[in-house]
Structure 1
Amino acid sequence: MALPRIDIVEDNATPQQKASILDALQEYNNKAARPSFSADFSILLRDATSDDVVGGLSGQSFYGWTFVKFLVVPEIYRGLGLGRQLMLEAETLARRHGSEGIWLDTFDFQARPFYEKLGFSVFGELEAGEQAHARYFLKKRF
C-alpha cells in the first residue's frame, strides 16, 4: 500500500476538499460512537424594519451535546436581553435534541462573564501569551 501524499493548502481549500476531510471523520465516528442525533441550527436576530439578519446564534447538536459555535448581538442592541434570549432558545433546542447540555468557547475579550451569569462554568482554558488571547471553554449541563 502506498502512503498518501501530504499537501498543505493554507487559504484556498475548496468546499469539496474540506467536505472530504469531514466525511472521513464522520465515517470513523459513526463506526466508533453510539448513534446520536445530529442537527445544525441557527437562531436569527433580524432588523425590525428591513428584516435583514443583523446577528444571532449558530450551533450544532451532536454526540449528546449542543455546541454554540457563534453568537453575536450588534453593539447597538446589547444590554437589551437579546443575547440571553438567544441562549435560552439554544437551550430549548438542545433539550429538544436530547442533549446532556451546551458547551461553547469564548476569548478573554468576549463574553465569559455573560455566559457565567447564565449558569455556564469553565471546564478548560488556553492561556494568554504574547501572541495569543486566553480562550475559555464553558459548559452548562442540564
Structure 2
Amino acid sequence: MNATDTTGFEIVEDAAPEFEAVGAIQRGLHEFNQAMGGPYDREPVTLLVQDSDGQTYGGLLGLTFWGWLFIDWLWLSQDLRGKGYGAELLRRAEAIARERGCTNAYTDTFSFQAPGFWQRNGYVEFGRLDGMPAGHARVWFRKALQTDRA
C-alpha cells in the first residue's frame, strides 16, 4: 500500500493509540480465535503474597482458557525467594485451573529468571528463543495437570 492507494485505507504509525483502536484489534482477533477454536471461557487467576497490612510482596497473574492455565507473571520480592512461596503460588494456581477443567499449563520466562524453578515444579521446556535478549534466551515451559477424576 502507498499514499496513492485507492481503497480508502492507509497504514498509520501510532505510538500512543487510543483505547478504542487497541480494543478494535483485540476484539477482532478474539472473535476470530473463538470462531476457529471455540469459546475461550477466559477467567483470570490472581494470587497475591501480602503482609498483614495488605502490602503486596509478590504473586501470580494468569488466566485459564481453552482448557489451559497460562501463567503470565510470577514474581516475588528478593527476601521471599527460596522460601516456598513460588511453589505454593504454582500449586494454588494449578488447583484453580483443575477446578475449571484445565488439563495443561504453560508459561514463558527468560534464562536469567530461574528456569530451574519451573523444572523443579514439573514444567518441561518446549521452546527456546536464543539471543532474546542478547546473551540470554526466552524459554517456554508446559506441564500436564493431573486430575483426580476417574
- Post-superposition CA distance 1:39-89 (Å, at most 9, x none): 1121111123x2122210000111221100000010011111000110001
Q: How does 1:69-84 map to 2 (within 5 A)?
A: 69-84=72-87
Equivalent residue, structure 2, for 1:5: 10
Contact kept in structure 2, 1:121 and 1:138, CA below 8 Å: yes
Unaligned runs of 5+ residues in structure 2 are 1-5, 146-150
Give the TM-score, by structure 1 length. Answer: 0.89
Give aligned-pair identity as a percent.
30
Change (3 A) 1:135 1:3: farther
Contact kept in structure 1, 2:111 and 2:138, CA below 8 Å: yes
Change (3 A) 1:52 1:33: same
Match of 1:112 among 86, 111, 115: 115
Match of 1:43 among 47, 57, 60: 47
Contact kept in structure 2, 1:44 and 1:56, CA below 8 Å: yes
| Whole-angstrom distance in 1 between the partners of 2:84 and 2:65 | 27
Equivalent residue, structure 2, for 1:99: 102
Equivalent residue, structure 2, for 1:135: 138
| Whole-angstrom distance in 2 between the partners of 1:59 and 1:14 | 25
Give the TM-score, by structure 2 length. Answer: 0.84
| Whole-angstrom distance in 2 between the partners of 1:86 and 1:16 | 34
Contact kept in structure 1, 2:59 and 2:74, CA below 8 Å: yes
**Post-superposition shift, 1:108?**
0.8
Matched, 1:63 2:69: no
RMSD value, Cα: 1.9
Please list every run of at least 4 consecutive aligned residues from structure 1 whose deviation after the TM superposition is greater than 4 angstroms. none
